[in-house]
Amino acid sequence: MTPRGSSVGTAGRQRSRRGVLVGLGLLVVGSLLVRFDRGARVTTAVGWAVAPLHAAVTRGGQSVRAFFLDYVALTGVREENRQLQDEVRTLRGEAARTADLAQENARLRHLLDLGDRRKDLRLRAARVVARSSSEVFRVLRLTIDVGDGPVEQGMAVVAPEGVVGQIRSLAGSRAEVLLITDPRSAVDVVLEQSRARAIAVGSGENDRYAAHLRYLPQSVSPIRGERVLTTGDDGRYPRGLVVGEVVEVGEPESGPFKKTTIRPLMDPGTLEEVFVVLGPSGLNADGSRYETEERKKK
């Protein structure tokens, strides 16, 4: 039989032991809480310390990213700009070719108009292939491509604006043209209004295209701007072709003739195509049938 006092002492000791264990548990939990709170404060302190560095790195990264995106965009713009420049160059080239074709068509239409106006002449088209110029770039001679046609030395060369000159020499399909402004050129002419006759001789000047009228009577009063036409009497130039217009009338001088200067209406420096006059066609200028007195009698 166990004594009562002994059981009471044992229970007391067990309660004391449990109290100690509870206290120790509370102490450990408290220590952990304190340690955790300190860690949080340390983390917060470290966060505040590195915040400027973090912000700088973030801004740097954003700048690098923005620069990279801008570079990629700029590369795309440059490529697009290059493509647009290529397209502009292509379009300009096409526009230039179109303009050249338009100018060529206009010249050819102008040339064909001459053929329509002068159906009394057999005309052969020829292209200017070379020019001989003076020191001041005034054209002295033209070289034209006449092909394999029946072209002969001395044949007249004309343009829509008027007389150009005559065939001076032939070499294969090439023909050299002696211009009416050359001092070796002489053309029988008549003034359109006064009908006065004269000889147009090239002046050979270096600074302009011109010809002088020789053997023009002092009694004639040419008008500035008056046209000078071929008479057809020299057997070389057909009648009624424009040689030029009067630009200077000299003061009366002693002697029977008046000094007068004319300017050709054609510009040798801009000619691209011309006609070689092969001879009469047997028609009138308007294309109607030409009848001689012998035919009329028949």
Q: Is the CA virtual torsion 176, 182, 183, 188 positive or negative?
A: positive
Model confidence at 172: pLDDT above 50: yes
CA-CA distance, 110 to 128, in Å (whole number)?
16
Cα→Cα distances 124→2, 55, 156, 240, Å: 158, 88, 11, 18
User: Residue 139 forms beta bridges with which residues?
Assistant: 133
Give the pTM.
0.63
Question: What is the per-residue pLDDT across 121-138, written as a single tens digit (0 to 9) for each?
Answer: 999 999 999 998 876 667
Compare 87 and 180 and report the one with higher pLDDT. Answer: 180
Model confidence at 64: pLDDT above 70: no
Q: Which of 42-46, 79-83, 277-281 has the highest mean pLDDT?
A: 277-281
What pLDDT was estimated at residue 293? 46
